[in-house]
Structure 1
Amino acid sequence: MKGYRKPIRQSMLLSISAAMLAVLAAGCAGGNEPGASQGAGGTAGGDKTTIKILQNKIEITDKVKAMVADYMAQNPNVNVEVQVVKDYNTLIKTRFAAGDAPDIFTTAGYSAMASWSENLLDLSNEPWMQKVSPMTVEGMTFNGQKLGFPMAFEGFGVIYNKDLFAKAGVDKLPTTFSELQQTAEKLKAAGIQPYKEAYQETFPLYHLLNLAFAYEKDPAASLAKLEKGEMKLKDLPHINEVFNVLDLAMKYGSGQESIGVSYDSQVSDFASGKVAMIHNGVWAIDPIQKVNPKVNLGMFALPLSDNAAETKMPISVPGYYVINKNSKNIEESKKFLTWLHTNGQKYLVDSFKFIPAFTDLKTTPELGPLATDMAPYAESGKGIPWTQNAWPVGYKEDSPKRLQAYIGGQTNRDQAIAELQKDWDNRVKK
């Protein structure tokens, strides 16, 4: 894999916002991100062709295994080995370096996919490519080649327990930061723990940091200035507000102990009614309902400021399946993706609970209340991009460490922002 450095295209993030309304108004979609765990779907045997798949969506590990088992039952000449892992970025690089690269793997779009682009097969002429939602195209297109199979649409916000809100007398969802504070106070006064944040994990932290970039009037222009050194992170008007959110979640949650809280622990306590709010996304619906299928939950956009008009929800395409162009099993890998699209309603939507990123796949009520609550933000133009997919490669992995140090009391706010800037500068230079 080669490093990637070039100026961010002005149209990159603008196209996300422009296409969002038209695409998501027709139907939205969820599911992916966090992670830890691993599964395998068989071993090679006889004259079977073996294709290897690596992905990072640990919350659907069992469902991925079931899908692979179905594929092998329908294609007895093919063996599929699948790994679903938490420390994904490290493992994928290790596998390529060791000469054990998978045939199919997952990657985010934009700069992340660009860094892999020389290793990826052009999928432009695959039969399913004509059915991908328009919003998915730019993030996977490089040198005129479409390199990805879009997995889903996702949104990130505050997931809340409706029954606990009602018990505390919260009858209006907060649309400003002050209202969010007041909501936390009401919950606390009612003997309800407002928050439990999983800051042992990296993804909630870079999702929060994304807000400082995504709330810019012109995110693409600001990212370009940051890359050129024409502005600094401390110049982002909303950067301090991200730290206000961290402070709020610690004050009304687990404090500095939040950096020891795992995703599984957070989800379990929320689902069982021990806490009222968590910062998370639509992908959390399935693990929450596994713990408690009757939990009465919803999701709203996380407010940063006291200007309600600014409160919007990050919505994007978080990941794509891609094919290693040096695979010895390219045709079988292409057949697998074609099969997955053909059966996408059964697996991507009904089983994985993804909000579909293909125009011929339909959302269903079974996708649940988080997808339902996400849709109006897109339909009303209150969606903002996931800028972390356009950050310099590696910065998404760097930044949570700085925020964890702040949460743990090892740095103050100014020091944390300065460290975030150093990491940014180092990644831009590579």
Structure 2
Amino acid sequence: MKRKLLAAILSCAMTVTVLAGCGQTAEAPAGEVTTLPADSSTPAADGAEAPAADASADEGEIYMFISSPEYADAINTLIEEYKNVAPNVTINYETTQNDYPTMLKAKLNSGEVPDIFSSTSGKEIDTYLEYSYDLSNDSIMTTMDPAVASSMSSTENGGKGCYGFAIKGNYFGIVYNKEMFETAGIAKFPETASELKDACDKLTAAGFKPFTTGFAEWWVFKHTYQSFVNAAADGAGISTADLVTKFEKGEAKVSDYPELYDNYFAFLDLAKEYGDAKPLETDLSAEEAAFANGEVAMVLGQGAWIESDVLSINPDIKIGFAGYPTTEDAAETKVISGSDQALHVNKDSKNLQATLNFVNWWYTSDYGKSWFTDVAGVVPPIVTDAPSEFEIIKQGAALSDEKGSGALAICYSTDSWHQTCGQILQSYIAGTISKDEACAQIEEQWAAIDGAK
């Protein structure tokens, strides 16, 4: 599917007659419609169908303001399909990425809470808990994957509730061009930091640029950094969650962990040396184009979500997928899997029932369930046996089975922190601050932003 410009703000108005079981108008109590019996409010293990319903009386507007513009075309297709189901509600869809956390907070502070908004899963579930509807008794739970549902629970509420849903599960790692590696005489994707450097030299000697980095995007850094955080935790003999907590409490320094202080910054230096001529001007769209057009061998900071766009440019490209080499221990080179994003329903929405009906239809209708694999091309966040034809998903699953997958470290922190960290690392890439200055800022801001949460 062809992407729109990454930072574009998209609006799509539509009318809706709701499908699924229930409801009448925005004033109807949430508990009266699209709900499960009290004894069946946990995620279904068999992906059972929710009962269909007629909600043709729904009307009004739904304001959907989320990040992840890489799925803009897919979501517009979803909305267009829903128009056939329910023509009396208008869905206004808006998406952006670079400034999303800041823009969302501005909306919340002004009282303009979107009917559907996004955050990371995990820690940010509690950050936005006061605004979020608990979906535990809605029919969405009949198909939601239990692992996804668990990442939407609230630690403040003792691990209970389901305060979000996901567009996708995911795989994070390095996407690479298999044919370029073969031409350069590299039989196997590198599994150690030194092997990655050797691969860059061989690719360069064969006439290929090794990397496209996407360093114009703050979120690219969190996608790369998390593999090194996992390696640092393993090196220290603690869990990733415990390591993150130490930084939040101001009890850790980057220099305490060679996987971060030495290896991660060496990785950034390597990416800068062997990557884009102007790395801080290279965004997601530029990465996809460079990779699809055969200009580079590896894409950094991305994952399963780029394959559809790449194939729309070059359907013949031979895509490979692997974890980040973080140390000299090949066992640390793992892909990362999990659901990193949560979409929240505003519990005080003026059109709550219509919003719930749309969300439940998304997860329980035949079209909605097939949308994840057939349209969005993502790892489905629902219980399904539907196979995927996407290489990143197939290879990610195989690698996870073979070596295990790393912890989804990004979910232990907020996107407010990740955005700040990305901006600090952009300054390092620009050469305006040193490594030690970057580390000091990371330590200070991590505790300041997430330490009190």
SS at structure 1 position matched to 2:64: strand
1:352 to 348, 366, 376: 376
Q: List gaps (5 residues or longer) in structure 1.
A: 1-31
Letter in 2 for 1:104: I
Answer whether contact 1:212 1:237 (CA < 8 A) is retained.
Answer: no
1:35, distance to aligned residue in structure 2 (A): 4.4
Alignment check: 8 A CA contact 2:176 2:319 kept: yes
TM-score by length of 1: 0.87
Contact 2:170–2:379 (CA<8 Å) still a contact in 1?
yes
Alpha-carbon shift at residue 429 of structure 1 (Å): 4.3
Aligned to 1:20: none
TM-score normalised by length of structure 2: 0.82
- Distance in structure 1 (CA, Å) of the matches to 2:206 and 2:126: 50
- Asked whether the equivalents of residues 72 and 79 of structure 1 are also in contact (C-alpha less than 8 Å), the reply is no
Of the structure 1 ranges 96-105 and 116-125, higher mean CA displacement relative to structure 2 is found in 96-105
Please say if 1:129 is aligned against 2:141: yes
Alignment partners' CA distance in 2, 1:207 and 1:47: 40
1:345 and 1:362 in contact (8 A); partners too = no
* Alignment of 1:277 onto 2:293: no
Q: Report how far residue 381 of structure 1 moved.
A: 4.6
Question: Which residue, out of 66, 78, 83, partners 2:94?
Answer: 83
Counterpart contact for 2:6–2:285, Cα < 8 Å = no
Match status 1:242 vs 2:292: no
Counterpart residue number, 2:42: none
Q: Residue 50 in 1 paired to residue 61 in 2?
A: yes
- Answer yes or no: is the 8 Å Cα contact 2:362–2:369 preserved in 1: no
Contact conserved, 1:38 with 1:61, CA < 8 A, in 2? no
Counterpart pick for 2:310 among 288, 302, 305: 288
Other-structure match for 1:195: 211
Matched residue, 2:279? 258
Deviation at 1:44, TM superposition (A): 7.9
Offset of residue 406 of structure 1: 1.1
- Per-residue displacement from partner, 1:81-138 (whole Å, max 9, x unpaired)? 1112223222222222333321112221122121100111111011221432222233
RMSD: 2.2
**TM-superposition CA deviations, 1:336-357 (whole Å, max 9, x none):** 1111012333322210111111
Shift of 1:389: 1.7
* 2:37 counterpart residue number: none
Name the SS of the counterpart of 1:107 in structure 2: strand
> Are 2:14 and 2:83, in contact at CA under 8 Å, matched by a contact in 1?
no
1:115 is matched with 127
For the Cα contact (< 8 Å) 1:302–1:311, is it kept in 2? yes
- Residue 404 of structure 1 corresponds to 426
Of 192, 196, 203, which residue of structure 2 is paired with 1:180? Answer: 196
Quick one: structure 1 residues 166 and 65, their matched pair in 2 at CA, closer, same or farther if it must change by over 3 Å? same
Aligned to 2:83: 72
Which residue identity is paired with 1:197? T
Give 1:158's aligned residue: 174
* Rg comparison, structure with higher value: 2
Q: Return the alpha-carbon distance in structure 2 between the equivalents of residues 306 and 381 of structure 1.
A: 16
Letter aligned with residue 90 of structure 1: T
Over 3 Å off, 4+ runs? 43-48
Distance 1:312 1:91 in 2: 34
SS at match of 1:146: coil
Whole-Å separation in 1 of the counterparts to 2:173 and 2:431: 25
Q: Is the 1:201–1:262 Cα contact (8 Å) retained in structure 2?
A: yes
In 2 relative to 1, CA 131–44 (structure 1 residues): closer, same or farther, beyond 3 Å?
Answer: closer
Q: Cα 1:325–1:365, aligned 2, differ >3 Å: closer, same or farther?
A: closer
Aligned partner letter, 1:271: A
Paired with 1:88 and 1:108, the residues of 2 have a C-alpha distance of 11
Shift of 1:73: 2.3
Structure 1's 363 and 186: CA in aligned 2 closer, same or farther, altered over 3 A? farther
Question: Which position in structure 2 is the counterpart of 1:40?
Answer: 11
The question of whether the paired residues in 1 share the 8 Å contact of 2:115 and 2:345 is answered with yes
Identity %, equivalent residues: 27
1:300 partner letter = A
Give the deviation of 1:322 after TM superposition.
1.5
Counterparts of 1:362 and 1:37 in 2: how far apart (Å)? 35
- Residue aligned with 2:94, SS: strand
- Whether the aligned pair in 1 keeps the contact of 2:58 and 2:354 (CA below 8 Å) is no
Counterpart for residue 229 of structure 1: 250
Provide the secondary structure at the position in 2 that maps to 1:150.
Answer: coil
Aligned match of 1:92 in 82, 94, 104?
104
Judge conservation of contact 1:127–1:338 (CA < 8 Å) in 2: yes
- Give the Å deviation of 1:165: 1.2
Given that 1:406 and 1:413 are in contact with CA atoms closer than 8 Å, whether structure 2 keeps it comes out as yes
Q: Distance in 2 between matches of 1:392 and 1:72?
A: 34
State how far apart, in whole Å, the 2-side matches of 1:309 and 1:62 are.
37
